[in-house]
Structure 1
Amino acid sequence: MEFIALDYTTLRVIWWLLLGILLVGWAVMDGFDLGVGTLLPFVAKTDEERRLVINTVGPVWEGNQVWLVLGGGAIFAAWPPLYAVSFSGFYLAVFAMLFGLILRPVGFKYRSKLPSKRWRDNWDRVLFVGGLLPGLIAGVAVGNVLLGVPFHFDDTLRVTYTGSFFGLLTPFALIAGLISVAMLVSHGAAMLVLKTDGPVAERAARYGSIAAIISFVLFAAAGAWVAFGLPGYQITSQVVTDGPTNPLLKTAELGSAAGGWLRNYSSMPATLVFPVLGLLGALASAVLLRARRGGLAFIASGASIAGIILTVGFAIFPFLLPSSSQPTSSLTVWDSSSSHLTLWVMLLATAIFLPIILAYTTWVYRVLKGKTTVEDMDDNPNAY
């Protein structure tokens, strides 16, 4: 169609980049909500302090989840085979993640309905699980992407997943899950230091700096594991970037030597900025949290999150989801997208609505800037 200006290859790359941006957006914007929930039992000792912690994210957590919806929608619309394989193969893992995300709003809404200490303590535990579980599961999923997932297509492109939930819990995947938890906890701690004062901010700075250091150490360890222990996958046939959506039209295999996932960093040295950003951002966050510089720590932890996520994305490119049981069935950017027209129409819609979302989000945070205090909670009948 002549009115379509961008070629198929370019559109596929744009939507790969947009998927990465949406995932980073969710991890940065909703990640501090999850981190605050995970920190709740540790930084708040009294009911008043716990209410203070909850109300730092109370006005924004619902809006922040829009990024998760956008990410899931982008996978569904732009990469249908990826959606089909991951959401069906990872069914129990996705269910566990969604279970945690469902617990969170219920905990927010019901915690203050009764003055009973036992009632509120139980809902605080719910909020803790609702913060910890999604971040952990998301990290484990990313770890399994690097390892490869056991699925294959038959001649009719019907997918079969041959793994299990507990099969996802390998040592490398669990390290990836712990990296996810640590980076989100440090991010949540930065928000608490930014939005609160007193003992809550002091405890948040202490725990957050520890989490940032753990994130640095585990990310470095995972990088060494990838370099010296994981061979990575590679396409062995001619690469057709504008071909039809059919993973079986190519051939692929597991590499024969460790460090295969680092090929892109050798051919595109500029991409090394992302792992460096992941490491330095974590260290800077730890230092800034110790110095009680909440705003700068938040920027540093957000940069670290972006660096860690983009490190994985650029390492595995053009793969989206490698298959460990039949590498030829692996999903790549070049053979797993929607049609040319679909990607173009979606891009036009994104160009219109994404700036609106960003503008609205900026306005909300501008209105809500400043510290959250006990006086604010007492004066606001809608406070949690």
Structure 2
Amino acid sequence: MILHELLSYDVLRLLWWGLLGLLLIGFAVTDGFDLGAAALLPLVGKTDVERRVVINSVGPVWEGNQVWLILGGGAIFAAWPQLYAISFSGFYLAMFAVLVALILRPVAFKFRSKREEPAWRARWDAVLCMAGVVPALIFGVAVGNVLQGVPFRLAPDMRIYYEGTFFGLLNPFALLAGLVSLAMLLMHGASWLVFKTEGEVAARARRFGVIAAIATTVLFAVAGVWLATFNGYRITSAVDPVGPSNPLFKTAEVHAGAWFANYRAQPALYLVPALGLLLPLLAALGMRLRREWLALLSSGLGIAAIIASVGASMFPFILPSSLNPQHSLTVWDSSSSHLTLFIMLVCALIFVPIILAYTSWVYSVLRGKIDPMAIVDGRGHSY
């Protein structure tokens, strides 16, 4: 037996759909508190020392957290090449804005404290805030557009034609999805600051975190109700889970309420968005009661539930086409080859546990609260 046939093609496709979701959740939960804390910087840090406390709470770990974004991008490139080609070219300007923000973030970390002039530091603080807000907002806008369908089509030779514009991405529902994303990362960033800091910084983070958590639940509920009024997508031909990766071999249509068909078929799935609604409120309660672990864990699991609810709604679609539903990409017709998926799975099984072990060790070494006096004295902190 050929080694890669140990797992069938349909199982590998399904596994990589789930792994991609886990990688995206991993990025949102880990790097999410970095982005949220940076976005909250001018609100929770009123003095230079307080802002340095915020920066030092995420400065030693943000690079490791961003590994999940790189892994997610690599997984899309290798496992779902058509998804990579369409999304990264169609959303080019939006992705460019995200990359500019993510590139400026380490520059701001390194340069911010090189000079003591208040104006110099204030400018870099503004850059850090922007580097937190912009990616958080744009990631949500992208998800909002995917749920509505992306304006692309495929030629018979599989050449891709994208017919959207940058400003077309900024439609009302997509902006609402962006606000959901921003609110949940602000909640997560505040939970992290409550966990890692003390005094006035923690008190302010607690206040803004409670507001962001409540806003997350409200905005997520509004988005769900609004989504129920949209037409979703469904496959109308027989599905071949081990068929060739050619979206044109199927037929699909736009259908009212299709994004909730999976929930109607499997009512237990309603638990996923229910957790997305309830866990942010539990995070708010944890912050109010000064239960730091409860707040941080609840906010992270709430983010995971919100992202998972999108995947559960769309399955098996991963990128629907608003121009021609038949051209939509699904789990079953847009993946790499059987052998490629198997090799990638072997690599993931080797390297992801190593990354998790190393990340756990780093957080263990860096456990504890940030000491403002150590920052003032120049002991033990980098920023």
Q: Tell me which residue corresponds to 1:292.
A: 290
Is the contact made by 1:191 and 1:295 (CA closer than 8 Å) also made in structure 2?
Answer: no
One-letter amino acid matched to 2:282: A
1:93-104 equivalences under 5 Å are 93-104=94-105
One-letter amino acid matched to 2:252: A
| CA–CA separation in structure 2 for the residues paired with 1:262 and 1:118 | 51
What secondary structure is seen at the aligned counterpart in 2 of 1:308? helix
1:42-81 equivalences under 5 Å are 42-81=43-82
| CA–CA separation in structure 1 for the residues paired with 2:206 and 2:94 | 31
Q: Tell me which residue corresponds to 1:346.
A: 344
Q: What is the CA-CA distance between 1:381 and the residue it aligns to?
A: 6.0
Is the contact made by 2:30 and 2:65 (CA closer than 8 Å) also made in structure 1?
Answer: yes
The alignment of Structure 1 onto Structure 2 pairs a total of residues equal to: 381
One-letter amino acid matched to 1:188: G
Q: Does 1:301 align with 2:299?
A: yes
Q: Tell me which residue corresponds to 1:365.
A: 363
Q: What is the CA-CA distance between 1:376 and the residue it aligns to?
A: 3.0
- CA offset digits 1:118-167 (Å, max 9, x no partner): 00000000000000000100000000110000000001100000000100
> Which of residues 273, 277, 292 in structure 2 aligns to 1:279?
277
| CA–CA separation in structure 2 for the residues paired with 1:37 and 1:164 | 29
- CA offset digits 1:347-372 (Å, max 9, x no partner): 01100110000011111111111100
What secondary structure is seen at the aligned counterpart in 1 of 2:318? strand
| CA–CA separation in structure 2 for the residues paired with 1:162 and 1:217 | 33
1:1-384 equivalences under 5 Å are 2-3=2-3, 4-227=5-228, 229-255=229-255, 257=256, 259-377=257-375, 378-380=377-379, 383-384=382-383
One-letter amino acid matched to 1:236: T
Q: What is the CA-CA distance between 1:237 and the residue it aligns to?
A: 1.2
Is the contact made by 2:56 and 2:381 (CA closer than 8 Å) also made in structure 1?
Answer: no
TM-score, normalised to structure 1, is: 0.98
- CA offset digits 1:86-110 (Å, max 9, x no partner): 0000000110111111111111011
Is the contact made by 1:193 and 1:293 (CA closer than 8 Å) also made in structure 2?
Answer: no
TM-score, normalised to structure 2, is: 0.98
Is the contact made by 1:322 and 1:330 (CA closer than 8 Å) also made in structure 2?
Answer: yes
- Unaligned segments of structure 2, at least 5 residues: none
| CA–CA separation in structure 1 for the residues paired with 2:98 and 2:236 | 35
RMSD: 0.9
What secondary structure is seen at the aligned counterpart in 2 of 1:109? helix
Is the contact made by 1:9 and 1:334 (CA closer than 8 Å) also made in structure 2?
Answer: yes
One-letter amino acid matched to 1:303: L
Q: What is the CA-CA distance between 1:379 and the residue it aligns to?
A: 4.3
What secondary structure is seen at the aligned counterpart in 2 of 1:185? helix
| CA–CA separation in structure 1 for the residues paired with 2:261 and 2:102 | 36
One-letter amino acid matched to 1:297: A
Q: What is the CA-CA distance between 1:375 and the residue it aligns to?
A: 2.7
